[in-house]
Chain A
């Protein structure tokens, strides 16, 4: 069977939220997300179903590592469009392909701010970062454009950069 098991959610006041599901072999597995960003991975006991037979305490670095290991295949697909939301402000990373009309053109040529309302705050080229690029900055294929704006504006920008 393809798809996700039903995930049950329980709130723990003052602590965080616990998610749990039953794996295909019948083991109940849970994740307890603490308010402070840590997480525990829980494996429930089959004899005493309310007790955790084992527990894994993860800090934020461990969570990222484990998430990367488990989600490696999905991650490659989504890396081109990392989106992050910070209280109504959206960031987007757009990688320019060789076919992109923007490659070889300057920021001023594209009139992105006028057309989408979005600000291009940085350009990443290889290991170099160009923060706050000038209007005459010239894009080349393979650049990653970092932009800030509304969700709609960012979608429009994406359409312009990667039609």
Chain B
């Protein structure tokens, strides 16, 4: 079996090896420039895909499968990132900024989709694309710029948590809607999806401790195999009842906490990086670069609006936490970057009539904002603000600290 078909295998190895090496090279360049590698992976996918410079056809099935696993691992890592207390706190305190975030950022996408004459569902997916910030890029930017200790940072991180929780509802619902069918079928599918999410979420929050305890001990190798296997199994089961498999993976991540969660995160990160890179590549792979040209104008317009709406979100959320004008601007710019989840959402709609347009628009949009977001955050303190605003904040702070010293 291994010996047979060796010519094909050899060619597949060469193709896969070449593609992965190109990704590695691009990742290194991105690291040197201090920006996310996601836009680079997308560009690479455009170059080797349909209508690109070179076309790989032999390994498409393999890459497609690896890309699917990439989505699962992205969501698994997301679930692992926060522990259950942080999610509960997020739910308690993050609702107001979360609702503001959703309204201000999803609406432009939905409106744009409708203006382009797409189906309502495709427009709702575009709303998802413009809604979620990239938690990967945002947290990397905050730590690279040494802003984790800044007082606006908890507000920024809380927005990321609430967006992640919102995705746990949004993704299965739109996934069920995409499958479509009659109104009765669809509402049944949505109901099943939501029930499954609630049941698994409650199960994860209540019995996650047992799962964690069961997996404690044992070698790293064993833990890696267990977590990887469990993720694929749960995702497969979720998929078979028409709930998005990605959500299954997310919930597995949620259920693993404490030391086991931290170890799993460490073990799964290299795998996630490999498969997620493949996912971004494959996503762009299926886009015909000539589709990007008509997408450019709406993507640019959406990007401009999105920068403003995310800045408003950060301004509002940090304001609730009593942060001053400068910090509120920093919070806004930190949230601008869109990345992995915008692509995951757009990929959900690939089978729709407007699917190709949606994917091309999302790719262009993410290319713009994954680069512009970190830049905006870097130069946030250079944005001119009315002097009165800044002075008022400093004055209030001085008065408060004077009052504390006296007390």
Contact = CB atoms under 8 A, between A and B. Distances in A.
Given A13-B158, A50-B326, A55 B82 contact: no
Contacts of B150: 50-52
A14 B82 contact: yes
A26 B326 contact: no
B11 interface: no
A35 interface: yes
A55 B398 contact: no
**Which of B81, B86, B148, B153 is packed against the most chain A CB atoms within 10 Å?**
B148
A77 interface: no
Contacts of A46: 394, 397-398
Contacts of A51: 150-151, 326-327, 330, 381
Interface in B83-97: 86-87, 89-90
Given A11-B89, A26-B402, A28-B401, A52 B146 contact: yes
Interface string B257-300: 00000100000000000000000000000000000000000000
Contacts of A32: 148-149
Contacts of A49: 151, 324, 393-394, 397
B322 to A, nearest CB: 9
Nearest to B402: A26
A12 B146 contact: no
A44 to B, nearest CB: 8
Nearest to A22: B404
A15 B89 contact: no
A22 B402 CA distance: 10
B152 interface: yes
A24 interface: yes
A11 B149 contact: no
B139 to A, nearest CB: 7
A47 interface: yes
B323 A50 contact: yes
- The number of chain A residues touching the other chain, given as a range, is 20 to 34
Main secondary structure of the interface of B (DSSP, over half): helix
Interface in A19-59: 22, 24, 26, 28, 30, 32, 35-36, 40, 42, 44, 46-52, 55
A85 to B, nearest CB: 15
Nearest to A21: B404
Nearest to B261: A35
Contacts of A26: 401-402, 404-405
Given A49-B397, A50-B324, A18 B158 contact: no
**Which of B152, B323, B324 is packed against the most chain A CB atoms within 10 Å?**
B324
Contact of B152 (A11, A18, A50): A50
Given A13-B82, A18-B154, A40-B149, A47 B394 contact: yes
Contacts of A50: 150-152, 318, 323-324, 326-327, 330
Closest 7 CB pairs of A and B: A50-B327, A50-B151, A49-B397, A42-B149, A13-B86, A52-B149, A13-B161
27 contacts: A10-B154, A11-B154, A12-B148, A12-B157, A13-B82, A13-B86, A13-B89, A13-B154, A14-B81, A14-B139, A15-B153, A15-B157, A24-B405, A26-B402, A26-B405, A32-B149, A46-B397, A48-B327, A49-B397, A50-B150, A50-B318, A50-B330, A51-B150, A51-B151, A51-B381, A52-B149, A52-B150
Interface of B: 81-82, 86-87, 89-90, 139, 146-154, 157-158, 160-161, 262, 318, 323-324, 326-327, 330, 381, 390, 393-394, 397-398, 401-402, 404-405
Interface of A: 10-15, 18, 22, 24, 26, 28, 30, 32, 35-36, 40, 42, 44, 46-52, 55
